[in-house]
Amino acid sequence: MIPGAWGDAALVLVMLWLIAQLNPALPFFGAGNIVGNEAMVEFAFLQWSAVAMSICGFGLFVSTFLKGEQGTLRVALLLLSVALCLKFMAASFMLQPHFAEEWLSVGRVVGLMAGVVALPPLRRVARAGRIYLALIFVLAGALFSKIFGAYSAVDESLRLFRWPYGHLASFATLTRFLHEIWPFMALAFLIALFFRLRRDPVR
C-alpha cells in the first residue's frame, strides 16, 4: 500500500464501505432500499450498467492505494467476496424470509460480472489514469444508482427486518448514511490523491 496517511485514509474508506454492507436492506452497489428497486423494468439495463460502473470504480479505487499494479484484481475480488458474505449472513439473520435475496437481483449479478470482466484491462492504465477513470466510474455509478434507486422512509424500510432489537432504527440509519455518502468520500480521496501524485509520484 502507499505509505503514510494516504494509505490509512484508504483503509478507513474500505472499512466504512464494509460496515455499510452489514445492512441487507440496501441493494448491492445501489441506492435506496431493496423494495421496488426492480420496478422500472424498461430501465433495467441502465440499472445493471450502474452496478458494472460501480464495480469498475471500486476496483480502480482499490488499485490507486496499492503501490504496484500486481494484485489489484485479487484484492478487489477479495473485498467484493467479503462484502457478499457479509450481506448473505446479515440477510439470513435480519431480513424477513421473503426479502432475504432481493438485495442481489439477477440484474445486479449481471452488472457484477460485467464489472469484474471489464476491470482487468482498466487496471493496466498508469496510476494517474486509473485515478481519473475511478473518478468517472464512481461518480457515474453513484448518479445512475440514485436515479433508479427506490427510496422509502426509515420506518417503512424497517418492516423488511425481523431483527427484534430496539436499536435497529439507529443501525439502519447509520449504515444507509454510510452507503449513500461513501461514493462522495471516495471521490474526495481520489481528487486529493491525484493532486498529491502530481507533486510527489508514488512508485
pLDDT digits (tens, 9 = 90+) for 27-52: 777 665 566 544 455 556 667 788 88
Residue of 113 and 162 predicted with greater confidence: 113
Name the domain count of the chain.
Answer: 1
Q: Is the pLDDT of residue 103 over 80?
A: no
Angle at 10 between CA 198 and CA 189, to 5 degrees: 50
Find out whether 175 and 167 touch, Cβ atoms under 8 Å. Answer: no
Residue of 145 and 135 predicted with greater confidence: 135
pLDDT, tens only, 161-171: 666 666 666 77
Q: Is the pLDDT of residue 127 over 70?
A: yes
**pLDDT band (50, 70, 90) for residue 152:** low
What's the sign of the alpha-carbon dihedral 22, 24, 25, 31? positive
Q: Could you list the residue range(s) of the whole structural domain that residue 63 is in? A: 4-199
Q: Is the pLDDT of residue 116 over 50?
A: yes
Cell of 181: 455518502
Q: Is the pLDDT of residue 105 over 50?
A: yes
Find out whether 189 and 9 touch, Cβ atoms under 8 Å. Answer: yes
Find out whether 142 and 27 touch, Cβ atoms under 8 Å. Answer: no
Cell of 142: 453513484
